[in-house]
């Protein structure tokens, strides 16, 4: 196995790693999927997936406890890199959740869905967490190849990113307030056919 052909899934003790790695294996072709907490393996990988579930302060603590911060920052800058859910949120500067600083790869912050705006025009209340399948409006990007604009993906989150630079946005969703995806806020590994197609596009993406 050549390290250059591996897809590293970063293991910092948080999140549904097995689901992510199994979905990637399903679409990886000849490439090898490794779940790893080793900065050297991340550095040698061809592309990197940064999943995340749970509370942002715990995620940041666990990342640092494993000495993975530098490897994640380096990979986010120079490799095909896919952040998922909290793995997306951690790429920004600061989160409302626990009021912690994040990795600061992109300018912008992570906000909680505002209680006052969580109603439909009909008056129906919108529940938080935003849980379930919602429509994503696409901005042009190789990740969307073969996926119809407006396709539904599986979300489960109470916080969302507000990027300072609109040019970063690859997709938009609306739930009480409009929010955006730079990496992906939804879970491609749990989004059936379209989710697997997105992961396949990531595996084949050459930025």
Partner 1 sequence: MLAKRIIPCLDVTAGRVVKGTNFVGLRDAGDPIEIARRYNEQGADEVTFLDITASSDQRDIILHIVEACAEQVFIPLTVGGGVRKVEDVRRLLNAGADKVSMNTAAVQNPDLVFDASSKVGSQCIVVAIDAKQVAPGQWHVFTHGGRNDTGLDTIAWAKKVAALGAGEILLTSMDRDGTKNGFDLALTRAVSDAVSIPVIASGGVGNLQHLADGVSEGRADAVLAASIFHFGEYTVRQAKEYMAARGIEVRL
The tokens for 137 are 């409006």
Which residue in the list 59, 97, 157, 187 is annotated as catalytic? 187
Residue number with CB closer to partner 1 (14 or 68): 14
For residues 60-99, which are near partner 1 according to CB under 8 A? none
The reply to whether 37 sits near partner 1 by the rule CB under 8 A is: no
User: Is 162 assigned a catalytic role?
Assistant: no
Q: Cα–Cα distance between 198 and 194 in angstroms, integer?
A: 6
Near partner 1 by CB under 8 A: residue from 76, 195, 198, 201: 195
**Residues 143-172 vs partner 1: string with x where CB under 8 A?**
---------x-xxxxx--------------
Asked whether the beta carbons of 41 and 68 are under 8 A apart, the reply is no
Burial (CB count within 10 angstroms: exposed 0-12, middle 13-18, buried 19+), residue 125:
exposed
The reply to whether 131 sits near partner 1 by the rule CB under 8 A is: yes
Asked whether the beta carbons of 171 and 181 are under 8 A apart, the reply is yes
Residue number with CB closer to partner 1 (14 or 45): 14
How many C-beta atoms lie closer than 10 Å to residue 141's C-beta?
14
User: Is 174 assigned a catalytic role?
Assistant: no
The tokens for 165 are 């630079």
The reply to whether 177 sits near partner 1 by the rule CB under 8 A is: no
All residues at 6 or more sequence positions from 205 whose CB lies less than 8 Å from its CB, including other chains: 47, 80, 142, 143
Contact footprint for partner 1 (CB under 8 A):
16-19, 22-23, 26, 53-55, 58, 115, 118, 125-135, 152, 154-158, 174-175, 187, 189-192, 195-196
């Amino acid at each position: 196995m050549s390290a250059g052909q591996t897809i590293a899934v970063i293991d910092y003790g948080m999140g549904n790693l097995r689901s992510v790695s199994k979905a990637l294996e399903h679409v990886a072709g000849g490439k090898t999927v490794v779940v790893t907490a080793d900065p050297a393996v991340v550095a040698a990988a061809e592309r990197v997936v940064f999943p995340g579930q749970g509370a942002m302060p715990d995620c940041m603590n666990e990342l640092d406890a494993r000495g993975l911060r530098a490897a994640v920052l380096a990979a986010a800058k120079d490799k095909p890199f896919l952040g998922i859910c909290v793995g997306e949120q951690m790429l920004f500067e600061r989160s409302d959740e626990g009021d912690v600083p994040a990795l600061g790869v992109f300018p912008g912050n992570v906000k909680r869905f505002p209680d006052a705006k969580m109603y439909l025009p009909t008056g129906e209340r919108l529940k938080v967490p935003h849980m379930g399948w919602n429509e994503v409006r696409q901005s042009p990007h190789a990740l969307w190849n073969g996926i119809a604009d407006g396709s539904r993906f599986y979300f489960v989150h109470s916080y969302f990113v507000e990027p300072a630079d609109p040019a970063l946005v690859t997709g938009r969703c609306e739930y009480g307030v409009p929010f955006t995806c730079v990496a992906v806020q939804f879970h491609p590994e749990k989004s059936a056919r379209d989710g697997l197609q997105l992961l396949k596009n990531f595996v084949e993406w050459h930025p």
